[in-house]
Homo-oligomer: A and B are copies of this chain.
Amino acid sequence: MSEELLYYTDYLELDKILGSQHPKSNEQTDEMLFIIIHQAYELWFKMVIHELDQVRRIFDTDNVLDNAGEMSIAVQKLKRVVKIFEVVNRQVDILESMTPMDFLEFRDLLVPSSGFQSLQFRIIEAKLGLKMDQRYKSNYYKNTRPGGFNQRDYDAISSVESEATLKGLVMKWAERTPFFDEALWRDFQSQYPLEEGEQKFWSDYKQIYKNSLSGSVELRQFDELERIFYKEGLGEFSVGAMRAVLFIMMYRNLPIFQQPFDLLSTLIDIDEMLSQFRYKHMLMARRMIGMRSGTGGTSGAGYLEGALRQHYIFKELTEVSTFLVERSHLPSLPKTVKEKTSFNV
């Protein structure tokens, strides 16, 4: 066979991939498993970052070109990220085939390194939109601590934060939504007395939502509605962005909202996948090391539980469910809005 033909082993650079496992203990231990599972994680994390970068590029403009299919490409890539995490989360099951006693055989050799130090995982969180000061025990990350990140990596995480995050970009995209231009709503038949200075749809919506509630607990939800969708916004999302998200979720069957609805759902999916990643690791740590501290000097399972509670990224999106009303109560849209959100057929 001639030398120039492409060969599977060379194409995949398997000499490097398969030559990078050097356990510190002897070969009877499960350290090989430990190394390979983490390397497989990191390969997948690289892929996730690759896709997130392409999605961020699509959103990092003043205008996502729906008609050029850009939104559809973005959604496809984010769904792939979900698929990847479905596999990554299953990998934990393999690790659980190692018993606590088996782990003890080489555990001390790893100190103070630990999975906490996965630069790529931190970068995924950061690119999605998690900030350092929102992180649980953010001082753990510092290079002044054995088990923290070295300076170069710490800087790498920080510099990602200064870039546009996916969350920020999606927020801006939502904010730019053109569907509330006053001109489009001229023919809108308001069912309720209009509030001064308020857009007709949103003036009505407040009443519709109020009518859907009952009891004092739920009236607190009405105050929340006012705060989030009329006055302050929520978290990093402005009033305008929150309104766009709510509108898309309610009218998701309008052609132009189908992909955006898929986008929002997929971002929530990604958040769930990361949460499950953390949750399964917490269960695994608890089982493997009980109440010991982690090799990286964190509090082990306790640390993971804290991160779990605090590292949700797209909570503004899940929150919207609280403020939906039944489809049959939705106002019917004016012809001008319908046209704007439809196919040209």
| Interface residues of A, Cβ cutoff 8 Å to B | 1-2, 5-14, 16-22, 24, 28, 32-33, 35-36, 38-40, 42-44, 46-47, 50, 54, 66-69, 72-73, 76, 79-80, 83-84, 86-87, 90-91, 93-94, 97, 99-101, 104-105, 109-120, 143-146, 148, 150, 153, 178, 217-218, 221, 224, 249-250, 252-256, 258-259, 265, 268, 272, 275-276, 279-280, 283, 286-293, 318-328, 338-345
Contact = CB atoms under 8 A, between A and B. Distances in A.
The interface centre, meaning the residue of A10, A79, A144, A146 with most chain B CB atoms within 10 A of its CB, is: A146
Given A6-B111, A342-B343, A252 B101 contact: yes
23 contacts: A1-B145, A6-B110, A8-B117, A12-B39, A12-B42, A14-B42, A16-B19, A16-B20, A28-B54, A33-B80, A40-B40, A66-B255, A67-B342, A83-B94, A99-B265, A101-B324, A105-B328, A256-B343, A256-B345, A272-B283, A288-B321, A291-B322, A342-B343
A344 to B, nearest CB: 5
| Total copies of the chain | 4
Contact of A104 (B293, B325, B343): B325
A110 B255 contact: no
Contact of A286 (B83, B87, B318, B323): B318
Contacts of A143: 1
A287 B258 contact: no
B80 A86 contact: no
Contacts of A115: 8
A254 B17 CA distance: 38
Contacts of A258: 69, 72, 258-259
A322 B292 contact: yes
Given A21-B46, A44-B40, A117-B7, A69 B255 contact: yes
Contacts of A50: 32
B255 A67 contact: yes
Given A93-B86, A94-B84, A38 B22 contact: no
Contacts of A105: 326-328
A222 to B, nearest CB: 12
Contact of A289 (B7, B21, B24, B322): B322
A93 to B, nearest CB: 6
A19 B120 CA distance: 13
Given A6-B113, A279-B279, A250 B43 contact: no
Contacts of A76: 97
Contacts of A66: 255, 343, 345
A46 B42 CA distance: 16
A117 B9 CA distance: 8
A117 B11 CA distance: 11
Nearest to A114: B8
A86 B97 contact: no
